[in-house]
Structure 1
């Protein structure tokens, strides 16, 4: 069995955002197929290693539990932990953690779980006047870092194609985020429109755009409620509009979808696959998103979910769902089928496992 080391600075055990859920799912899959060791920078709860080892059946190590360190200090701690250990494959979560490579042996297969193409995200943020809001990389620098790795994991087909264009064919691994199917009945009447998201800036922008430009027209015709879940709630501006309920973080995700009649994701920019959209479809909820939100799930458009190009498009799409139980039922069934066929765990992660099992 291959020995794999995964290094991350993400507190994936909290499971309160898409990227945490992604890393958690990846660890769960690898733990059942390889001899897995996960190193996290920390800080972290004192007993987290034991808790995670019991949950995932893998080895976990926190470099520093009580405080944040600089990159050199983390690197030295990782080097000390790895002394006299050998791994066949190293997976780095996110390109910003590539500094760890300076502290590792060279005779290991290197895989970057990129999640997003940062130069693409940088361009998207600038387009919507959010330049400098997150760390940025020019395309040339990102290419140089990509070329250090043997393979680059990405979550959606557009990024897969872009990586192969940027650094040559054969370097990218398409490994989307998997999700199990959860069946919920479709209510005859729409009472609750739901948005679930983290405090990531494009999520805040998207829901505030929807509240300002779509919700007045929707709420004027109906007494339904807009329920906003997740840490994104901290950045929501209601402006005295009616029938908006700020729910905040709800640990029981099943409860949220049980009560959701329609799910929206009005995200206008960003990068990568929108994991919250995969989740909504897996729960069989009628989804309305944007062209950007449909990135990586384009094949499901118009039969597994609806796409709105602008505010009027959102208003009309939601109106059509409110009026037609048949349409909601149709989308719900197709959504679960779409996820089962395209986003099951084997389809998503087998390309990675095949690469791990290849000889150097």
Structure 2
């Protein structure tokens, strides 16, 4: 790119790469745009947190903004970005109309993180004890909001190939509005394994996940109530360490050292903890997107046992780095055998490296991403002409959202 382009990222929260996969994903995106010469400002209405990344150390300007406040209009007009990236559809709903009004030429990108409507509908079906079907999405309120947001943007980043298929087949979203972008990590070699702790140097089962995320809390409940008693029968010395940011009191109450079940709280360095563990357990029963904890396990050379939802869209047609099962008895049995059988463990570890290199190679996706964004910058007008539904939604939603925001703004002044 000849001249420096300005990118404004509007974050739902400040990035916390050590607390969640979403935080790690955001830092991956920042890294790619930065390496390709973009001047980046990261703005968010969220409160600062003790665990947020120091954006300045990455050469990114930090800006706190307010919801339902015209001060954002002045800020973005002065900044005049070439590209605006919305972090999740809720942020596009809040700020998209202001961006469109103040900087109509700016390219509008949406990072969906995962399809919220898919996660919500699966969670609902699970709680109601019924089988989830894709048709459930059509009556989901969140789906209407999320799909409208995708249509209003010039391009949306979709993290899962399964979700790409849902958007194409069920919601009939044009392929030109979607860009497949999984987690992006460096290549691993077999030599990398030599730097990791060996089978006999590792101990314990581990689960790791941010407890603000409902699927993680549900997973830990399931581990404690169902999986763990079965696993202890198979392997009486088993110890499970559960790590995660923001554990609530109900999470902490599951701590039961006598039974080998330890609630450890926030991990100072998740990578180190997963590297020292022998097996990752992730019996996830609902959710969407890709599971950062399972990719991290592969990078740490740690085999895992998970469910079909956990492994969804994560490994192409390659063998998993451990086992995939939805049956609790089978889950416990396979976890015990993976923990105790070194040959099986080593093969699973190698499977993980193959998946990382085949499915998440940063070099395979970074240049394509920049190429697509550059193409949009050069031909935004034609791209938008071909997205009539997006223009229609932009027109109507802009008006309704705008006047609701103006009403809240006026109310706040009184």
Q: Is the 8 A contact 2:159 2:181 kept in 1?
A: yes
Q: Equivalent residue for 2:110? A: 112
Q: Equivalent residue for 2:263? A: 246
In structure 2, relative to structure 1, the CA distance for the partners of 1:11 and 1:43 (3 Å cut) is same
Q: Equivalent residue for 2:81? A: 87
In structure 2, relative to structure 1, the CA distance for the partners of 1:126 and 1:85 (3 Å cut) is same
Report deviation, 1:159: 1.0
Report deviation, 1:86: 2.5
Does residue 197 (structure 1) correspond to residue 209 (structure 2)? The answer is yes
> 2-side partners of 1:45 and 1:207: how far apart?
25
In structure 2, relative to structure 1, the CA distance for the partners of 1:278 and 1:110 (3 Å cut) is same
Equivalent residue in structure 2 for 1:5, among 4, 8, 18: 8
Does residue 356 (structure 1) correspond to residue 360 (structure 2)? The answer is no
> 2-side partners of 1:28 and 1:218: how far apart?
41
Give the structure with the larger helix fraction: 2
Q: What is the aligned-residue RMSD (CA, Å)?
A: 2.5
Q: Equivalent residue for 2:68? A: 72
- Structure 1-normalised TM-score? 0.87
In structure 2, relative to structure 1, the CA distance for the partners of 1:303 and 1:115 (3 Å cut) is closer
Q: Equivalent residue for 2:46? A: 42
Who wins on radius of gyration, i.e. which is larger?
2
Give runs of aligned pairs for residues 1-360 of structure 1, distance below 5 A: 1-13=4-16, 15-33=18-36, 34-44=38-48, 51-53=54-56, 55-63=57-65, 69=66, 71-73=67-69, 76-98=70-92, 99-104=94-99, 105-129=103-127, 137-165=141-169, 166=171, 167-180=173-186, 181=188, 183=193, 184-188=196-200, 191-199=203-211, 200-220=213-233, 221-231=235-245, 233-234=247-248, 235-236=250-251, 238=254, 242-299=259-316, 302-358=319-375, 359-360=378-379
How many pairs does the alignment contain?
345
Report deviation, 1:227: 0.5
Report deviation, 1:231: 2.6
- Structure 2-normalised TM-score? 0.77
Per-residue Cα deviation, 1:22-63 (whole angstroms, up to 9, x for no partner): 1122112211212222212232279x89x422x212322222
Structure 2: tracts of 5 or more residues without a match:
130-139, 380-414
> 1-side partners of 2:21 and 2:128: how far apart?
21
Which deviates further from its counterpart, 301-310 or 276-285?
A: 301-310
> 1-side partners of 2:298 and 2:307: how far apart?
15
Per-residue Cα deviation, 1:148-196 (whole angstroms, up to 9, x for no partner): 1111111111111222232222221111112345642332387300000
SS in 2 for 1:279: helix
Structure 1: tracts of 5 or more residues without a match:
64-68
Which deviates further from its counterpart, 183-192 or 218-227?
A: 183-192
